[in-house]
Amino acid sequence: MVEHRPEPASNPLMYGGLLPQEEMLAMGKKHKKLTIGIPRERQQIEQRVSLTPEAVEVLVDNGHEVLLETKAGEGARYNDTDYSECGAFIIDNRKQVLNADIILKVSPPDIKDIEMLKGNQVILSSVHFGHQTEEYIRGLMDKKCTAFAIEQIRDEHDGYPVIQSMSAISGISAINIAAELLSNQTGGKGILLGGISGITPTEVVIIGADTVAEFAARAALGLGALVKVFDNSPQHLEDLQRNLGQRIHTSIFHPKVLRRTLKSADVVIGALNLWDTGPRYFITEDMVKEMKRGSVIIDLSIDQGGCIETSEYRTLQDAIYIKHNVIHFSVPNLPSRVARTASIALSNILSPILVTVGNSGGFKPFLKANLGVRNSVYVYNGILTNENLGNRFGIPSKNIDLLIAAF
């Protein structure tokens, strides 16, 4: 009699689950080695560098290669040895650095830099959209680059870390500069910014209520000054009060109230975002004429045209001038004045992104998963993805989300 044995079940859990099974191995992400080029900033007003030596060391330890143009860190008081000891290759040939797969810059690459690119590269830099030219955009497109505006990078809290960190530096720096300009040393009135017992505190007027204004107010309040803030948004003023944790003088823009306040002000800080439509000069020249002799104006909105009519676009080398007996200071790149602090802040944002890109297998898989950094892309594989730039220059643009899905 022939014995009939049952066929093995397709379900391995039947019969006690004792049948041998194939081992299922987890599929890990493929690590991609990045070659990162850091060219020296050629603009005289730019002293920052995009990565510190410590950040370079982290990237090298993660298997990446960093090519640094000689003296690229000089403005932030880092020398070539600082970088070479952390694993960077120091190169005196700018074109060789610009041929790296990924280019990190603080200021946007100029036309000469774009001409030296090998093509099909990734560019991370600030952009200054309001000042960019069609030649610049078409140059990146012709080179089939993928370009990121670092100021448009969003974090997991939907904030803009580069803007916030640079704004904080600008706000604090503005108060430090104002304190110096009020002193005898620079020809000021010879008064102390702040206040001590028995002496009326210095009056600081801030135009705007965003991040720059918040940190300027914090610094001024810490010194004991009397702070008054004007803005065209009640919500911004309310948020500022809450963030500071104390009551300060605030007001919506009323020309008569503002004019009266300016007459007693010792320091005026212009800290408005002027990209939105509306009047550009919230403080007119006539208002400045009525200010106290030796008072100080610092216009931090000058990179957008300025919010004070007497402001002039100056460089750090020629930043101070006097109009109507009022000391003025207006430069577009105040964080560069404290280049080391600003460089560390930038590096703290950019280096973790690059480590994650390498661990993700490159920029394409990284962008599919990271909406915040994807938000900063304005050219993708040579295709313009910023609608505002497209409308301005008459260049067709594509939605970045659709391009990411297609590539």
Catalytic residues: 128
Alpha-carbon span 172 to 80, nearest angstrom: 30
Cβ contact 389:149 at 8 Å: no
Cβ contact 339:123 at 8 Å: no
Alpha-carbon span 226 to 379, nearest angstrom: 46
**Size (the chain), residues:** 407
Distances in whole angstroms, Cα of residue 215 to Cα of each of 1, 9, 206, 222, 241: 94, 70, 11, 10, 12
Cβ contact 124:102 at 8 Å: yes
Cβ contact 267:300 at 8 Å: no
Distances in whole angstroms, Cα of residue 229 to Cα of each of 59, 220, 248, 398: 43, 12, 8, 41
Q: In what order do the strands lie in the sheet with 89-91?
A: 89-91, 65-69, 35-38, 102-104, 122-125, 146-149, 377-380, 383-384
Helix (H, G, I), strand (E, B) or coil at 177: helix
Q: Which amino acid would we find at residue 359?
A: N
Query: What are 84's two structure tokens?
Result: 């070479």
Alpha-carbon span 215 to 230, nearest angstrom: 15
Q: Going by C-beta distance under 8 Å and a sequence separation of 6 or more, which residues neighbour residue 401?
A: 374
